[in-house]
Amino acid sequence: MKEYSVALSDETYAGIEKHLIRDDGQEDLLFAFYVPSTGSNRFSGIIKELILPKKGERILHGDVSFTSDYFDRVIDMHLQNPARGIALIHIHPMGEQWQELSYNDHVAEQGMAGAVHALTKLPLLGITFAGITGAISARFWKKKDGEWTPHHCHNTRTVGKALDVSYRQLTESDEEYLDRTIQAWGNTLHSKIINARVGIVGLGSVGSIVAEGLARMGIHKFVLVDGDEIKKVNLDRTINSTRKDVIDRRKKVSVARDAILESATTADVQIATFETFVQEHEAYRNLIDCDVIFSCVDKPLARSIVNFISYAHLIPVIDGGINCSKKDNDTLRSADWGVFVTSPGRACLECIGQYNLGDVQMEQEGLLDDPNYIDSLPSDHFAKKHENVIVFSLALAGQELLAFVNLFGRLSGTSADNYLKVSYPSNYVESGNERCNENCHYLNILGMGDLISPPI
């Protein structure tokens, strides 16, 4: 693994914060269980269950330590449900940003790393909570050259209606390129945004514009997934595509990659491209490496897979769609587009109506690629509707990029809505925040990571 990370829901974060922030300002600690979430290049621990200390199970003396009774209780709980790893979380009351290991913390965590690994077959996860800012820093303990060694996380992610990311090391912006952007929203937000790894599934009319916008905003780590080639019919909407791309039968991801490299405003651009679809294993695994995923697709199977990733692996997804309708006299009646953001506490793409589970299986069986079957469908069926104009794609992509900024924002007045719908030409705008229905499958798999079989 090249990178390590930690993810937790904002609800879990609140539980940690409530326990660790003490009125007397002393240090404190707690244990937790984590679930592995394994991407192609990133191993994450999803904090799933907090094990708060009972009275007498830790000793507060300026520093803090735990008793063997507490650790024994954690072991007993693990034996009852052994597929999880163990995390030890403590606070540095005066900590501000990412906390490096102090000598005492190093000794304490290293001393238990071997026992935890022997029991769980998973590395001990050490977490430090910075008392001043609430930033979380973390490391997994693995054996290297015969010694238990900390493998520091690249970042930690608190996922809810906002995405709060702490990074160990930040790539600095080149202010010559991004001066106006940083002037607009400040360096703190900008640093968080540009250091995220962003997945884009679908590099067509909307995805190509999203990629261009992100590159110019300073984002420089991308995972691009699309199996389609540029065709003549795409040229009226797919930004940066040319007639030559059609003749050369270039893949959409290849065109988008070259465009990002040309437009990027941050150095050290990293782009992983997959000329396949999201249901292919490598593409799927690389998306689990991402901090945010844009879903710029129009079929139910791909949407259901990114929806699964969003909830099982706690990675927010920004999805969009455009629907044009015409009058009988062959003129445009309206164009409606919507942006939908998924994360814990918000409705998933299935519950909000972006796809139907029954259609997912139809696509898996090949029905939605069968011209005879598609011919038989009603004219308003989604599989037959491809009408679009670049101005609608530009509007939708712009709204998706704003939703992306809002995720990181926590700006005053930041919208927590999980959908925004716009109608043209009436300019009717609707926004709101829905939750999943109480029986939604995705609520049951929230943060289950590798414990739940992937839908591919």
Partner 1 sequence: MNVNEGAQAFADQLRSIGIQSSIKHQTWVEFDYVVEGGKFAGTSVKMAINVPNNFPATPPSGINFSPRLMPQNTSAQHPQRSHPCRHPDWKANGEYWSRPHSTWNSEGNKNAQTYMAFVRQLWGDVV
Residues in contact with partner 1 by CB under 8 A are 304, 308, 350-351, 356-362, 364-365, 367, 372-373, 375-376, 378, 437, 439-441, 445, 453, 455
Alpha helix ranges (H) inside 333-432: 357-364, 371-375, 390-409
| Nearest to partner 1 of 146, 358 (CB atom) | 358
Integer Cα distance of 20 and 89 in angstroms: 9
- Candidates 241, 269, 243; CA nearest to 255 is 241
| Nearest to partner 1 of 146, 371 (CB atom) | 371
Percent helix, strand, coil in the chain, to 5, is 35, 30, 35
Q: Which residue's entry shows tokens 């912006």?
A: 173
Helix (H, G, I), strand (E, B) or coil at 342: strand
Integer Cα distance of 124 and 16 in angstroms: 18
Q: Which residue's entry shows tokens 């519950």?
A: 351
| Nearest to partner 1 of 128, 304 (CB atom) | 304
Integer Cα distance of 48 and 448 in angstroms: 8
Helix (H, G, I), strand (E, B) or coil at 9: strand
Report DSSP state, residue 98: P
| Nearest to partner 1 of 40, 356 (CB atom) | 356
CB of 266 to partner 1, least distance (A): 38
CB of 288 to partner 1, least distance (A): 17
CB of 365 to partner 1, least distance (A): 6
Q: At CA 310, angle to CA 167 and CA 300, rounded to 5?
A: 145
Q: Which residue's entry shows tokens 């530009």?
A: 394
Q: Which residue's entry shows tokens 């304490």?
A: 108
- Candidates 48, 242, 249, 248; CA nearest to 159 is 48
Cβ 168 vs Cβ 175: under 8 Å: no
Tokens of 237: 């909407």
CB of 356 to partner 1, least distance (A): 6
| Nearest to partner 1 of 243, 381 (CB atom) | 381
CB of 355 to partner 1, least distance (A): 10
Integer Cα distance of 309 and 387 in angstroms: 29
CB of 201 to partner 1, least distance (A): 18
| Nearest to partner 1 of 105, 363 (CB atom) | 363
CB of 440 to partner 1, least distance (A): 6
| Nearest to partner 1 of 71, 373 (CB atom) | 373
CB of 286 to partner 1, least distance (A): 20
Q: Which residue's entry shows tokens 């030890």?
A: 88
CB of 19 to partner 1, least distance (A): 34
CB of 362 to partner 1, least distance (A): 4
| Nearest to partner 1 of 364, 431 (CB atom) | 364
Tokens of 337: 């587009």
| Nearest to partner 1 of 242, 444 (CB atom) | 444
- Candidates 217, 366, 203; CA nearest to 273 is 203
| Nearest to partner 1 of 318, 360 (CB atom) | 360
> Quick one: 276 exposed, middle or buried, by C-beta within 10 A (0-12, 13-18, 19+)?
middle
Helix (H, G, I), strand (E, B) or coil at 269: coil
